[in-house]
Amino acid sequence: MQTIRLMALAFVCGITLVVAGHAQQTDDRIASSGAAPDRHSQDWPLLYATSFSDESALEQWEFIGGNWSWRAWDQEEKAGELGKLVLTKAPDRYTPPVRSPTQLAVLKEIAVTDFQLDVWVCATHPVYGHRDVCVYFGYVDPQQYYYVHLADQTDDRANQVFIVNRADRSKISRSTSAGTPWDDRSHHVRVRRNADTGSIEVFFDDMRQPVMTAEDRTFPSGRIGVGSFDDAADFHRVELRGVKPAEADRQELPVPFAASPNRAFCLGHRFSGFRFHRRPRNLAG
């Protein structure tokens, strides 16, 4: 009888070790393949990219307000580039439910938590203090999102980071520049976001030092977009890297087998001979 008990115990321990080993190997494969990257890493996978090479690229965007169109580059404008997304003022101006931007192009389907968004854009409206280009993120609906307002001059209503949360837009910038130096050339704008800390960084041409910073955790995820509060601009290229909400959730889940194979296998029970005795689960122990 004692021999049978020892054989049963060996059998159970063997299964436990095999399952635990398989789970650890699976973890190792995920880590080595890059299938589940650190959600706070700067090496996020590329989720979307376009240089608006043809008019079909516009099908991936939702347009709110403004007059949006695709236009081919003139041959003398930029060799090697085929097209651009053009924003001009619409005859009938869109009036949002609250004081907020009136011209938005929002990327369909893709939502992100942590991300890096790169936009190459030229402001084409005649020069004035509040001439602007906007970059949107954390977009939930027309009354819930963040945006960066890049304007020639800075005040409490211009050249800041804002939140729209079912009320008139509100400034959340912690720091900003004296103004954004728009001219007749294309410029590189980058927005980088850490959803857990709420960190928001905005870069303009120089990717080493942010020109604006903010911190807010109201919207943990959402879609991204481009546009203007009420001016004109040409968008030449967009690239989005980051983590989708479902991926972020999966990466936060514990791996019970790797952490504690015996406890995970026994599901909170203590093995003794052929009998299992229930005991309280203590996953912290």
Question: Is 32 in the same domain as 73?
Answer: no
Residues 122 and 183 grouped into a single domain? yes
Average pLDDT over residues 160-171: 98
Residues 119 and 222 in one domain: yes
Report which of 180, 164, 162 is spatially closest to residue 172, judged by C-alpha positions: 162
pLDDT greater at residue 132 or residue 76? 132
Q: What is the pLDDT of residue 3?
A: 57
Residue-level pLDDT at 194: 97
Do residues 96 and 208 share a domain? yes
* pLDDT more than 90, % of the chain: 65
Output the pTM of the full model. Answer: 0.73
Question: Same domain, yes or no, for 14 and 73?
Answer: no
- Predicted confidence at residue 88, as pLDDT, reads 96
Mean pLDDT of 207-232: 97
- pLDDT at position 5 is 57
For the ranges 7-21, 31-45, 93-107, 224-238, the lowest mean pLDDT is seen at: 7-21
In a domain, 224, yes or no: yes
Domain identity same for 56 and 28: no
Query: Which CATH number goes with the domain that contains 126?
Result: 2.60.120.560
Q: Are residues 73 and 202 in the same domain?
A: yes
Confidence of residue 43 (pLDDT cuts 50, 70, 90): confident
Q: Is the pLDDT of residue 187 over 60?
A: yes
pLDDT beyond 60 at 64: yes
**Tens digit of pLDDT for each residue in 167-180?**
999 999 999 999 99
Answer for the pair 229, 103: CB distance below 8 angstroms, yes or no: yes
Whether 78 and 95 share a structural domain: yes
For residue 22, give the H/E element and its range.
Answer: helix 2-33
Which of 2-6, 32-36, 233-237, 266-270 reaches the highest mean pLDDT?
A: 233-237
Same domain, 27 and 139: no
Query: Letter for the amino acid at 139?
Result: Y
User: The tokens of 98 are what?
Assistant: 């609250």
Mean pLDDT rounded to a whole number for the chain: 80
Q: Is residue 41 part of a domain?
A: no
Residue 65 belongs to some domain of the structure = yes
Query: Does 51 map to a domain?
Result: yes
> Do 207 and 187 share a structural domain?
yes
Residue 18: pLDDT over 80:
no
Q: According to the model, what pLDDT value does residue 1 have?
A: 56
Q: What is the domain range of residue 65? A: 46-242
For strands 161-165 and 187-194, give the pairing: unpaired
Provide CB contacts within 8 A for 225, sequence distance 6+.
61, 104, 105, 106, 107, 135, 136, 137, 139
Identify whether residues 72 and 207 lie together within a single domain.
yes
| pLDDT over 80 at 14, yes or no | no
The answer to whether residue 285 is domain-embedded is no
Higher pLDDT, 280 or 243: 243
In-domain check, residue 6: yes
Indicate whether 159 pLDDT > 80.
yes
What is the reported pLDDT for 83? 92
pLDDT tens-place string over residues 72-121: 977 655 555 679 999 999 888 899 999 999 999 999 999 999 999 999 99
Is 50 in the same domain as 173?
yes
Least confident of 173-177, 198-202, 269-273: 269-273
In a domain, 62, yes or no: yes
Task: Let me know if residue 284 belongs to a domain.
Answer: no
Can you give the pLDDT at residue 93? 85
Tell me: pLDDT of 266 over 80.
no
- Confidence (pLDDT) at 168: 97
Number of structural domains the chain divides into: 2
